[in-house]
Structure 1
Amino acid sequence: MVSAMGMCTEYNAEGHRAIYDHISSILENESTLAETQTPPALVFYAMRNVLRPDFILGQIPFLLDCLAMVDIFRRYAVKASSVALSWQEYYAKELISDPDMTLLTERELKKVQDYVTNDERDRLHYILVVKNLCLLHVYYLVTAPESCMLAEHLNDYFPGCFPGHDIPSKLLFQHGLSESEKQIMEETYQECKEWILDVTQWEEEREEEQEQLLETLTAEQADAAFQQAFRERFPPPFSQEELVSDLDDYLDIVERMIRRLEDYFPSAKVLDRFKWAT
């Protein structure tokens, strides 16, 4: 259940799992992806359930695919806005012959113009959130139970990072990156690579200490000691709360854009049932 303010007042685990599975099935079935109609509200809901009440770091790959879908919604809305501006200009000249014609108000026109003007800014916002989600997931994986998946996820985030292993990324955000965006991800990989090398060296230096700990502590106690030492030596790359706030801001931008366009053009149902367009 969601209150009028958008806050979750009751967590429906079964309902969320059904939505999660539905979106996952869409993302995994590449052969039918282009023909799938995905309501934006479903994607927004699924993403916010990953972020709250607690950020589920292990679901960051799923979150990244959903975020890529949201950016497709946004780009589609920008295209729709550009078309609307062209028709506004055309019909403004027809008012003399048809005085009953309805045009966008000045306030509506300003909003639609802003969507087109802010396209590059909003796209950069999206790319920077993607970059930070990748970094946070790598940080999480180093000490997570599923740490064996680190190499696979590194390849998904930074294709070609393992020389001689040409394995395509499974993540949607990799499609359609501009040269400048690829450069951002390349710089992110270099940062990530240096950090992993530092972690590896630190772990090697602690091997003797770890052996001594295992003689006096249980495996669980030794693992807890390692986790604490790791967090002290390698704090998170940035505030998790700030990342969630940045992601919330982006979702709010796109959600407001969709709602306003549907309010301005109700008969067209601009994004009522969004159809994938790549």
Structure 2
Amino acid sequence: MQDLDHQMIPAMGMYTEYNAEGHRAIYDHVSSILENEPASADAQVPPALVFYMTRNILRPTFILGQIPDLLNCLAMVDTFRRYAVEVSSVALSWQEYYAKELSSDPDMTLLTERELKKVQDYVTNDERDRLHYILVTKNLCLLHVYYLMTAPESCMLAEHLNDYFPGCFPGYDIPSKLLFQHGLSDSEKQVMEETYQECKEWILDVTQWEEEREQEQEQLLVTLTAEQADAAFQQAFREKFPPPLSQEELISDLDDYLGIVERMIRRLEDYFPSAKVLERLKRAT
């Protein structure tokens, strides 16, 4: 487990004055690492930076256009979580082994009952926490598709659909650029397939509505400026098609998931401090 900057982590939960330039600099730095060496990004980017970058997309305002970047951040967070579960499982095995050998080494230190319970919970809750992550990922895909229908970058809809649901366009065999697509189980792939079908039916409904609305507008012979026409379309669209889910509830689900993983990392680093941390503590005493 990488050593976190413990002074930086508490600050990530505090949202005081928003420094757009500073946040953008951190975001661009982490993004450059992801783009240049995505296969090993989880090993290079400190968890604290990934949590910071994730929250930077959510607050002070949820930047819907950056949902693909948010999905990549969350995939990295889940990589941290899965590694923490793996470490926890190994720790439980060593705890069981040394508990039997304690009499041969009086200096041996075992986990306390409270620490042992936490570590056991991380392993026990692995499937539950993974499902939490998959459902948040699914809902982010839905929300981004909804956003793209009326966004300035709506021309990117087909490309993003392929990233979310590879193979959804026959003959368009381009691998997804998103990290969450790697390592999906069969049941998780089924969740994404059902999500695609939901998106497909919804897009067909929107397309039909747009065609009917265009015909109605032509019959009314209404003359509008480009700005007026766009505003009227936006309003009519939102009245006809409400968002697939509440942004507030989704952000709350994201916060819950981030909190689960963040606390897991903190505790494991407290229970099993790295040599670097031990050296720093030694110098401080």
TM-score (norm 2): 0.90
- 1:55 maps to 62
Selected match of 2:243 from 236, 245, 256: 236
Q: Contact between 1:3 and 1:9, CA under 8 Å: does it hold in 2?
A: no
| CA offset digits 1:11-38 (Å, max 9, x no partner) | 1211111111112112212476369511
- 1:159 maps to 166
Q: d(CA) in 1 for partners of 2:9 and 2:83?
A: 27
Identity of aligned residues (%): 89
- 2:107 maps to 100
Aligned CA distance change for structure 1 residues 61 and 37 (closer, same or farther; 3 Å): same
Is the aligned partner of 1:226 residue 2:233? yes
Aligned CA distance change for structure 1 residues 102 and 3 (closer, same or farther; 3 Å): closer
3-state SS in 2 of match to 1:93: helix
3-state SS in 1 of match to 2:44: coil
Q: Which residue type is aligned with residue 117 of structure 2?
A: K
Q: Within 5 Å, which residues of 2 pair with 1:22-171? A: 22-30=29-37, 33=40, 37-171=44-178
Is the aligned partner of 1:16 residue 2:20? no
96-105 vs 234-243, which moves further: 96-105
Selected match of 1:200 from 193, 207, 214: 207
Q: Which residue type is aligned with residue 166 of structure 1?
A: D
Q: Which residue type is aligned with residue 45 of structure 1?
A: Y
| CA offset digits 1:213-233 (Å, max 9, x no partner) | 784322111111111110010
What is the aligned length? 270
The structural deviation recorded for 1:267 is: 3.5
Q: d(CA) in 2 for partners of 1:213 and 1:45?
A: 51
Q: Contact between 2:42 and 2:79, CA under 8 Å: does it hold in 1?
A: no
Is there any run of 5+ residues in structure 2 with no aligned partner, and where? 1-7, 278-285
22-31 vs 156-165, which moves further: 22-31
3-state SS in 2 of match to 1:266: coil
Pick the structure with more helix per residue. Answer: 2
Q: Which residue type is aligned with residue 81 of structure 2?
A: R
Larger RCO (CA within 8 A; separation ≥ 6): 1
Q: d(CA) in 2 for partners of 1:4 and 1:20?
A: 16
TM-score (norm 1): 0.92
Q: Which residue type is aligned with residue 124 of structure 2?
A: T
Supply the RMSD in Å over aligned alpha carbons.
Answer: 2.0
Q: Within 5 Å, which residues of 2 pair with 1:247-262? A: 247-262=254-269
Q: Within 5 Å, which residues of 2 pair with 1:176-187? A: 176-187=183-194
20-29 vs 179-188, which moves further: 20-29
